[in-house]
Structure 1
Amino acid sequence: MLKTAFSRYINSFRGFTREIWILTLVTFINRAGTMVLPFLTKYLNEDLEFSYSDVGTIMVFFGLGSMLGSYLGGKLTDSIGFYKVMIFSLFVSGLLFFGLQYVTSFYGLCIAMFVIMTIADMFRPAMFVSLGAYAKPENRTRALTLVRLAVNLGFAAGPAMGGLIIMNIGYHGLFWVDGASCILAISIFWLLVKEKKKTIEENAVSESLAVKSVYSDRPFWVFLLVIFITGMVFFQLFTTLPLYHQKAYGLTEFQTGLLLTLNGFLVFLLEMPIVNYFDRKKVNKVKLVLVGSLFMALGFYVLLLNVWAGILVINVLFLTFGEIFAFPFSNSFALGRAPRGQEGRYMAFYSMSFSLAHIMSSKTGMNIFDHFGYLTNWVVMGTLGMVAVACSFWVMKMVREE
């Protein structure tokens, strides 16, 4: 029985092209080095001594830059190709991360975070389109999942190492590692993966479909609302929850890092077999996103039982399964809705919904913390998760009617 389960697990990783494996390696290196993000709110609040409200405002500029970057990345991907966008984005953002550590004023950080995230998040829609280009059509959902696994495996290593770096060197060490990992990752991609040019047939198809607009795709826009809400709830893991760990239970940066590592490790272990199973069964992707939204809602409702530190582990478990169900299938649904030649635009709006979630998640969460306390924030986030569940039902109804 164990041997059969292990064999199925291994088989779920078969059938990918060489380019997909290289993209996975590049993503792992980049994410393992991305140590700044989980500790950014703590760095701004505890090291630079900004108020919760100021931290929330800086994170708004973080999200605005992310939105603009996602939009520009999608537009440029459709016009000049994903390859050039990916190389420019990671290389330049790596250099900018080196300089971010020297910016300590409030207005300087607002501008710096906006510029860095504009450049850095041009990468996301380009990377999604590259997966569509290099993966076989039948493997696209699993290819998206494989790259997400690299993200989470890198994230499993990153926060724990980041916590140790903070305790031994200080926050500035994180900026050097983050910048270097961006440059190393994209250098490997540039050396090992060649640009895939559009064929004459693909260009012809793109031109013939140019009149069909993403703006008229009503089910897709309601779906983006689901993704926005789900992202807004999930991103509390990186904004308000690390602060809650310390304020309510006295956890160190290293202990918070271990909780985030648990999230990354479980996603690495379970996501590919779960996605492979439901992909083979051809289960409705929006229904699986609905299940993920429900898990995330429950993850915040359990925090209302604030009498035992172990509840933080249960919270991470719920959010982890929410992530496993919501994000890979939402990626696949969004890419599958896009007509050929408009993949960049669709994935740009998909990425922008996450960027807007970053803006609203941090600012809303921090303000609720400031004025009403932790428990009110958990009620709000849990209830938003249930709104995402209701909207998912609405998307399924519209798609059936099509």
Structure 2
Amino acid sequence: MLKTAFQRYINNYRGFTREIWILTLITFINRAGTMVLPFLSKYLKEDLNFSYEQVGWIMVCFGFGSMLGSWLGGKLSDKIGFYKIMVFSLFTSGLLLFAVQYVRTFWGLCFAMFLIMTVADMFRPAMFVSLGTYAKPENRTRALTLVRLAVNLGFTAGPALGGLIIMNLGYSGLFWVDGASCIVSILIFTVLVKERKKPADLNVSESVTEIPASVFTDKIFWIFLFVCFITAMLFFQLFTTLPLYHNEKFGLTEFQSGLLLSLNGLLIFFLEMPIVSISQRKNIDKLKIILWGCLLMSISFYVLLINVWAGTLIVSILFITFGEMFIFPFSNSFALSRAPKGHEGRYMALFTMSFSLAHIASSKTGLEIIANFGYQTNWFVMGTLGILSVAGCIWLQKLVKAEQQRL
């Protein structure tokens, strides 16, 4: 029985092309190498002695660079192809990371972080388009899930490696290793993967066929982006306000908070791919799955209102993790399937920009609410925002159904 269960689990990872596995490998190397991010605010505050306000502004420049990079990466992927953008983005951001360690002034770092993130985040929409090209049509959602697993594993390994490098080589070593990981991963990609044109079937939507010619007139997509923005805002609380709450309310150590985040990563690693495979076999509507994910994520914050027992932290993590598994792989797939021919990059650019904007808004909003009204108010506000995303999903389902009926 165990052997059968294991075989079924392994079968979830079958059927991918060689290029998809190579893309997954370089994504893991690149994300594991993104060691600067978890230590950036610490580096700016403790090593360069900037004030909290200055660190905040540098991080805002970081966020806006990410947004601009996402838009440029998508637009240029449509113009000159995803392959060239991916190579340019990772190779150039590697060189920029080598250089940024020598920038030590406030305005210099504001500009440097904006520039680095503009170049680095051109990679994301281009990579999404590449998955649509290299994956077989029936495997695209699973391919997106596979790359998400690589991102999660990379982010799990990165901070631990980064901490070891800082202890032995200092922050300078961190920038050198981070830059080198970008260059090594893209060199592996260029040697092993050749450029390929987008297949015609990429432009045939799985759930929608009457699609506006411009992303700016696609009402359904903009409502979908609103849902993505809210769910990303809720998800980023996991890395901003929740670790603070663990310590201030329940006295959890950094190690104990880390274990809770590890639970999130382990559940995703073992369960996300089977969930995606089962939903595809049963042909469950993507928007219905996203709706359930939004509801679970909303409940995860309402659970925190019961603040008399530390066990609620585990319950909350379970809800937010299953919400994440239901939302993110299917929202990636819906965004890609929605894009008409020649507009894939633009659609994926706006999709990734919604996450960049949510990253900026999430920590600022959450911390401001906590500073003025306390943690309980923040959990109530976040849970209620989750209910708004549920309403958005219900509205989306009605609009998509009406669109299909008009054909």
Asked if Structure 1 and Structure 2 have the same fold, meaning a TM-score greater than 0.5 normalized by the shorter chain, the answer is yes
Distance 1:373 1:47 in 2: 31
How do residues 34-113 of structure 1 correspond to structure 2 at under 5 angstroms? 34-41=34-41, 54-103=54-103, 105-113=105-113
Q: 1:30 Cα deviation (Å)?
A: 1.2
CA contact (8 A) 1:285 1:330 kept: yes
Aligned length: 398
1:239 counterpart residue number: 240
Q: Which moved more, 1:13-22 or 1:243-252?
A: 243-252
1:329 counterpart residue number: 330
2:138 counterpart residue number: 138
1:342 counterpart residue number: 343
CA contact (8 A) 1:246 1:252 kept: yes
Alpha-carbon distance change, 99 to 251 in structure 1, aligned in 2, over 3 angstroms: farther
SS of corresponding position for 1:304: coil
Distance 1:381 1:371 in 2: 15
Where does the alignment leave 5 or more consecutive residues of structure 1 unmatched?
none
1:17 matched to 2:21: no
CA contact (8 A) 2:220 2:400 kept: yes
CA contact (8 A) 1:76 1:85 kept: yes
Distance 2:54 2:295 in 1: 31
Distance 2:297 2:389 in 1: 10
1:150 counterpart residue number: 150
Alpha-carbon distance change, 325 to 305 in structure 1, aligned in 2, over 3 angstroms: same
Q: Which moved more, 1:302-311 or 1:272-281?
A: 302-311
Alpha-carbon distance change, 337 to 376 in structure 1, aligned in 2, over 3 angstroms: same
1:371 counterpart residue number: 372
CA contact (8 A) 1:59 1:363 kept: no
CA contact (8 A) 1:56 1:367 kept: no
SS of corresponding position for 2:195: coil
Distance 1:236 1:44 in 2: 22
2:353 counterpart residue number: 352
2:119 counterpart residue number: 119
Deviations 1:200-258 (A, max 9, x none): x89x99xxx99811122111110010001111111122233344444445555555444
Q: Which moved more, 1:150-159 or 1:106-115?
A: 106-115
Give 1:191's aligned amino acid: V
2:264 counterpart residue number: 263
Deviations 1:170-227 (A, max 9, x none): 655543433222222111111111111468x89x99xxx9981112211111001000
How do residues 207-246 of structure 1 correspond to structure 2 at under 5 angstroms? 212-246=213-247
SS of corresponding position for 1:212: coil
Q: 1:307 Cα deviation (Å)?
A: 4.2
SS of corresponding position for 1:73: helix
Q: 1:158 Cα deviation (Å)?
A: 2.4
Distance 1:142 1:231 in 2: 20
2:207 counterpart residue number: none
1:313 counterpart residue number: 314
Larger RCO (CA within 8 A; separation ≥ 6): 1
1:284 counterpart residue number: 285
Give 1:185's aligned amino acid: S
Give 1:298's aligned amino acid: I
Give 1:19's aligned amino acid: E
RMSD of Structure 2 on Structure 1 (CA): 2.9
CA contact (8 A) 1:70 1:349 kept: yes
Give 1:266's aligned amino acid: L
SS of corresponding position for 1:341: coil
1:30 counterpart residue number: 30
Q: Which moved more, 1:70-79 or 1:259-268?
A: 259-268
CA contact (8 A) 1:61 1:359 kept: no
Q: Which moved more, 1:160-169 or 1:137-146?
A: 160-169
Deviations 1:350-374 (A, max 9, x none): 1111111112112222322333333
Alpha-carbon distance change, 161 to 264 in structure 1, aligned in 2, over 3 angstroms: farther
Deviations 1:85-143 (A, max 9, x none): 00111122222233444545544443222211111110011000000000111111111
Q: 1:168 Cα deviation (Å)?
A: 6.6
Q: 1:349 Cα deviation (Å)?
A: 1.0
Give 2:392's aligned amino acid: C
Q: 1:166 Cα deviation (Å)?
A: 5.5
Between the two proteins, what is the percent identity of the paired residues? 71
CA contact (8 A) 1:263 1:320 kept: yes
Q: Which moved more, 1:46-55 or 1:170-179?
A: 46-55
